[in-house]
Structure 1
Amino acid sequence: MPIAETWLLPDGVADVLPEQAQVIETLRRKALDFLARRGYQLVYTPFIEYIESLSSISDSNQDLDLATFKIIDQLSGRLLGVRADMTPQVARIDAHVHPVEGIARYCYAGTVLHTKPQGFNTNRAPLQLGAELFGSSCIDADVELVDLMLSLLEHAGFADGIHLDLGHVGLFRSLVKHANLDKDAEQHLSDLYQRKALPELAAYTHDLPCGADFNALGRYASDLNALRQNLSPQVWADDEFAMAFNALATTSAEIQKRWPNLHIGIDVVELRSYHYHTGLTYAVYAPHRAAPLAQGGRYDGIGKHFGRARPATGFSCDLYALCAGQFEPVSVVVAPKGSQQDLLEAIAQLRAEGRNVIQLLGQDDVDSVAYATHRLQHINGQWAVEQI
């Protein structure tokens, strides 16, 4: 095979060149420092693990399982998985590696790998950054994570025109349980809700147990007041349903207090991560972007796989997607060859000030540094930087 074909990258995988890599790395450092100041401790997780560890969520989430590359470990012969999401790994740390009493807060940033592009994202190797909170099932924890997500995006420069979507999978889940539906009916309803197929929903729910309530759930999915008025008393008597509804309404009100100018949308049948999450779900969108800037939700019981079930909530984002289309010219100062003390001191001073300085080698001149923007020159007995 010609070499020109062997070095081509697979679909969905790309190099990141200096002008954009600098933007991404600056945002990564800025975001992790911000999360640290909010009490979230940084952890690093391995790129590969035994598949049993990564399946702490994917046991009930076929989408995550299908997104995970699987390989055979040449040392043990066991099946390994390349992480497609870092949340199961952080859950393993919380439950098994670093168990703490009470609430634990962690943050992370690292590359994950997907077998196929996910959603609107064509990149199969996102740079995932996120935060997770373990050990609290109260609404305050959900409010903290939503507020943290919004604050992080604001800190990263995404304040204007953003939109927050809130949902709660507990509404649909408790209604399915209340109506005693089988898995096929549950899956079909989930599909209808995700496609927003209201005429099909009305026809399908006509003879379904609690059919009018399932129809109302889809028809009034974005209006909690209208939904409240159109659901049957039997549904409101269900404690799980009422608890989920009140949690969604309370969270929305609390976030609106903290972010009075934020537009908040409600969608109680947003079920894209139905098998992943167990409660509140949230996502932030920006104008002219189809994919969310960041998204997350509650996933209680996450540590059960490792012998320590814990309530948990968290969010993540793709730094590559956040920085899409952003470039920062690299400023490089070229210094002449030499070892005289004043020259070395001038170079050291510039680097201490945060400037990028390259000293020429051998017989090279400034033209040998293709990306040079400035040069260090000796003028009137002093070293000075001049733009090229």
Structure 2
Amino acid sequence: MSTPPIRLPAGVRDFLPRAAARRRSLAARVLDVFERWGYARIITPMFECADVLERGLGHDARAAAIRFVEPGSGEVVALRPDITPQVARVVATRLADVEGPIRLCYEGAVTRLAGERGQREILQAGIELIDAGDPGGDAEVLAVAAASLAASGLPETRLDVGHVAPARCVLAAAPDDNARDRITAALARKDRAGLRIAAAVLPDAIRPLAEALVGLWGPAETTLARAVALPWPAEVRAALDSLRAVLAGFADLADRPVPDLTIDLGDLRGFDYYTGVRFAGYAGGAPDAVLRGGRYDELIARYGRAARATGFAIDLEALAQAQRTAGLALPVTTAGVAVHGAGAAAFARELRAQGIRAVVAASAPTASWLRGAGFDSAALLDARELVRADETRRTLDTADVRALVKLLEENPCPS
């Protein structure tokens, strides 16, 4: 019998030092933003009892969950496809006696089945704001989303905001599921002609609203003004007034500079999950949204606590890929030195005390080894020479470690 090839499951990957450094840096920047806005980090397990986790998952997320039998207990468990339901469980159980608003953040991997592509592991970070009503809570979460996009350093950032109420009003008037599906498909394609045909079955008062909905996207102020001018029912008008208040609150709260702000009231992604404002974040170099979120006031009650909530998750892998596409440099890392020769252990110890990564090398490192191992330089004590990863050489004063540290800090070796 032949030995199976060494392989990974579909949809997962290794990250070597340079790629890992970019993702670690992004996660650190985003978590720093969260913490500066007052969000406390929690850590939740990679898998949970399937029936508990699935209380907080929508239809698509339940279908994407990878399940298996836990050998110790025989229970069916599931790898988390989303972290928000775990936060909801924590808030409803472990933090049941804590008054709101509660601000929590997280970072970790989620795993989802992805059709023919197999499972897909996604590095994710996000926040959840519990028991903070609108418009203030929505404005705050939107402001944190803007700050998170800014922390990525990506160009051309934009937040696209909407509200589920207008689309919900239109779809609720559909006479049956088939009509609803046709209207939904036309809205998703921004297909004006197709929507006009699909909307023919709607009541006379709703039909023009449906046809207008497909065009209600663009710059925030003008798009919202066009939406408000339409003859919506009272509950939709109230929702649009709330959206206007959210945008005003965001303008007051957000750190400068703020990203471009657009509105799309016909975007139905997450329609069955969100209960109010929903939004997505975009950046230059990314083909799709790198951030999605919104208000979900019904989720936490599934775990036993009636609480309003809003939040978002940011796709760290999408951000990393966008940084590469946009040509953003890798993050600056602490200098690293491989020390070789008599007294190498003591010399390396002194370097580490000064905040420099240092290892003892059994043989004289080459420039190619330094690059592959992620080190800037080799300190060859016997030859009193410093060899850089870019193959340049300098005289090394082995008696002055501080001078070497200063040199490394002022002259980082190109990666």
TM-score w.r.t. the length of structure 2 is: 0.81
Report what 2:103 is aligned to. Answer: 105
Report what 1:90 is aligned to. Answer: 87
Structure 1 Cα separation of the partners of residues 129 and 40 of structure 2: 10
Matched, 1:207 2:201: yes
Matched, 1:133 2:132: no
Q: CA deviation at 1:41?
A: 0.8
Moved more, 292-301 or 122-131: 122-131
| Equivalent position amino acid for 1:211 in 2 | R
Structure 2 Cα separation of the partners of residues 253 and 218 of structure 1: 24
Report what 1:114 is aligned to. Answer: 112
Report what 1:374 is aligned to. Answer: 377
SS of equivalent to 1:30: helix
Report what 1:309 is aligned to. Answer: 306
Q: CA deviation at 1:76?
A: 2.9
Report what 1:9 is aligned to. Answer: 8
Structure 2 Cα separation of the partners of residues 67 and 268 of structure 1: 27
Matched, 1:218 2:214: yes
Report what 1:39 is aligned to. Answer: 38
Structure 2 Cα separation of the partners of residues 12 and 90 of structure 1: 25
| Equivalent position amino acid for 1:248 in 2 | L
Report what 1:154 is aligned to. Answer: 150
Report what 1:251 is aligned to. Answer: 246
Moved more, 289-298 or 29-38: 29-38
> Per the alignment, do residues 187 and 381 of structure 1 end up closer, same or farther by CA in structure 2, a change over 3 Å counting?
closer
> Per the alignment, do residues 117 and 373 of structure 1 end up closer, same or farther by CA in structure 2, a change over 3 Å counting?
farther
Q: CA deviation at 1:383?
A: 4.9
Report what 2:183 is aligned to. Answer: 189
Structure 2 Cα separation of the partners of residues 45 and 72 of structure 1: 19
Q: CA deviation at 1:146?
A: 0.7
Aligned residue pairs total 371
Measured against aligned partners, the alpha-carbon deviations of 1:224-248 in whole angstroms (never above 9, x if no partner) come to 222333x33xx33x3x212211122
Contact 1:19–1:329 (Cα < 8 Å) also in 2: no
In the alignment, which of 319, 336, 339 is matched to residue 335 of structure 1?
339
Structure 2 Cα separation of the partners of residues 374 and 358 of structure 1: 11
Mind listing any 5+ residue stretches in structure 2 that lack a counterpart? 385-395
Q: CA deviation at 1:180?
A: 6.8
Moved more, 198-207 or 38-47: 198-207
> Per the alignment, do residues 337 and 181 of structure 1 end up closer, same or farther by CA in structure 2, a change over 3 Å counting?
farther
Matched, 1:168 2:163: yes
Q: CA deviation at 1:207?
A: 3.1
| Equivalent position amino acid for 1:91 in 2 | A
| Equivalent position amino acid for 1:249 in 2 | R
Contact 1:283–1:292 (Cα < 8 Å) also in 2: yes
Structure 1 Cα separation of the partners of residues 79 and 226 of structure 2: 45
Structure 2 Cα separation of the partners of residues 181 and 358 of structure 1: 72
Report what 2:388 is aligned to. Answer: none
Contact 2:105–2:125 (Cα < 8 Å) also in 1: yes
Structure 1 Cα separation of the partners of residues 181 and 248 of structure 2: 31
> Per the alignment, do residues 329 and 20 of structure 1 end up closer, same or farther by CA in structure 2, a change over 3 Å counting?
farther
Structure 2 Cα separation of the partners of residues 57 and 188 of structure 1: 28
| Equivalent position amino acid for 1:215 in 2 | E
Q: Kindly indicate whether structure 1 or structure 2 has the higher relative contact order, using CA contacts under 8 Å at least 6 residues apart.
A: 1
SS of equivalent to 1:219: coil
Contact 2:128–2:309 (Cα < 8 Å) also in 1: yes
TM-score w.r.t. the length of structure 1 is: 0.86
SS of equivalent to 2:287: coil
Contact 1:68–1:115 (Cα < 8 Å) also in 2: yes
Q: CA deviation at 1:175?
A: 4.0
RMSD: 2.8
SS of equivalent to 1:114: strand
> Per the alignment, do residues 381 and 27 of structure 1 end up closer, same or farther by CA in structure 2, a change over 3 Å counting?
closer
Q: CA deviation at 1:111?
A: 0.7
| Equivalent position amino acid for 1:20 in 2 | A
> Per the alignment, do residues 375 and 55 of structure 1 end up closer, same or farther by CA in structure 2, a change over 3 Å counting?
same
Structure 1 Cα separation of the partners of residues 158 and 55 of structure 2: 31
Report what 1:353 is aligned to. Answer: 354
Structure 1 Cα separation of the partners of residues 78 and 239 of structure 2: 34
Q: CA deviation at 1:98?
A: 1.9
| Equivalent position amino acid for 2:376 in 1 | T
Q: CA deviation at 1:380?
A: 5.5
SS of equivalent to 2:127: strand
Structure 2 Cα separation of the partners of residues 112 and 144 of structure 1: 25
Q: CA deviation at 1:311?
A: 0.7
Q: CA deviation at 1:347?
A: 2.2
> Per the alignment, do residues 261 and 37 of structure 1 end up closer, same or farther by CA in structure 2, a change over 3 Å counting?
closer
